[in-house]
């Protein structure tokens, strides 16, 4: 089954938030399988969803049922329903793999999905607003928040206990303790 869904703020379960969990790299073999790069900590966890929504961005996605998913080299090889040959598989290259946010497992109290932090207000200990979380990235040693301030300036703050005092999911606020000169 394949259908298109415009992201109007409602998912199949009216939840509205989508998470990118991988990307199709290109065809694998001649029978319609595709190579996939997972953005999950454990790439093989991508096989937990029987249905993926594929699209260029968050706005429009097409539903595809996963027939099988296998670990291969540093990625995955996947066969999707109604993708039956290499040409069809090649046409899927570059598409992102999306799943509804509500389908992700709940995090522990001190763990967060990056997507849940994006858009949160960031304040220092005195209550001064530094900006909003624009995105996060890995450095190998730690995750780093990119905060964009009122005038478009970027502030980088490591997402570690030495700098992050609290994350209030209900208020949508992160309290930080930046070093002098960081902000």
What confidence tens digit (pLDDT) does each residue in 84-93 have? 999 999 999 9
Among 91, 82, 107, which Cα is nearest to 19's?
107
Question: How is residue 115 written in tokens?
Answer: 């997507």
Cβ 77 vs Cβ 43: under 8 Å: no
Per-residue pLDDT, 144: 94
Place of tokens 């209550």: 127
> Taking 60 as the threshold, does the pLDDT of residue 134 lie above it?
yes
Q: Worst-scoring range by mean pLDDT, 45-49, 53-57, 95-99, 177-181? A: 177-181
How many Å apart are CA 74 and CA 70, to the nearest integer?
Answer: 11
Q: How confident is the model at residue 6 (pLDDT cuts 50, 70, 90)?
A: very low
> Taking 60 as the threshold, does the pLDDT of residue 157 lie above it?
yes
Opening angle at CA 139, ends 72 and 49, nearest 5? 40
Q: Worst-scoring range by mean pLDDT, 76-80, 82-86, 109-113? A: 109-113
Domains and CATH numbers, the chain: 4-103 (2.40.30.60), 114-176 (2.30.30.240)
Percent of the residues in the chain that have a pLDDT greater than 90, as a whole number: 60
Per-residue pLDDT, 16: 56
| pLDDT, average across residues 32-41 | 91
Question: How is residue 137 written in tokens?
Answer: 């990235």
> Taking 90 as the threshold, does the pLDDT of residue 42 lie above it?
no
pTM of the entire predicted model = 0.68
Per-residue pLDDT, 102: 86
23 SS3 class = strand
């Amino acid at each position: 089954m394949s259908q298109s869904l415009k992201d109007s703020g409602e998912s199949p379960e009216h939840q509205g938030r989508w998470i990118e969990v991988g990307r199709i790299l290109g065809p694998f073999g001649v029978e319609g399988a595709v190579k996939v790069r997972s953005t999950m900590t454990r790439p093989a966890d991508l096989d937990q969803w029987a249905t993926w929504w594929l699209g260029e961005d968050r706005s429009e996605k097409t539903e595809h049922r996963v027939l099988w998913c296998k670990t291969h080299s540093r990625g995955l090889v996947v066969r999707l329903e109604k993708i039956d040959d290499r040409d069809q598989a090649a046409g899927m290259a570059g598409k992102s793999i999306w799943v509804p946010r509500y389908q992700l497992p709940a995090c522990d109290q001190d763990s967060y999905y990056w997507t849940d932090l994006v858009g949160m207000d960031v304040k220092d200990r005195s209550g001064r607003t530094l900006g909003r979380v624009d995105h996060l990235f890995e450095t190998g040693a730690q995750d780093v928040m990119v905060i964009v301030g009122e005038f478009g300036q970027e502030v980088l703050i490591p997402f570690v206990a030495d700098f992050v005092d609290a994350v209030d999911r209900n208020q949508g606020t992160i309290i930080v303790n930046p070093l002098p000169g960081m902000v």
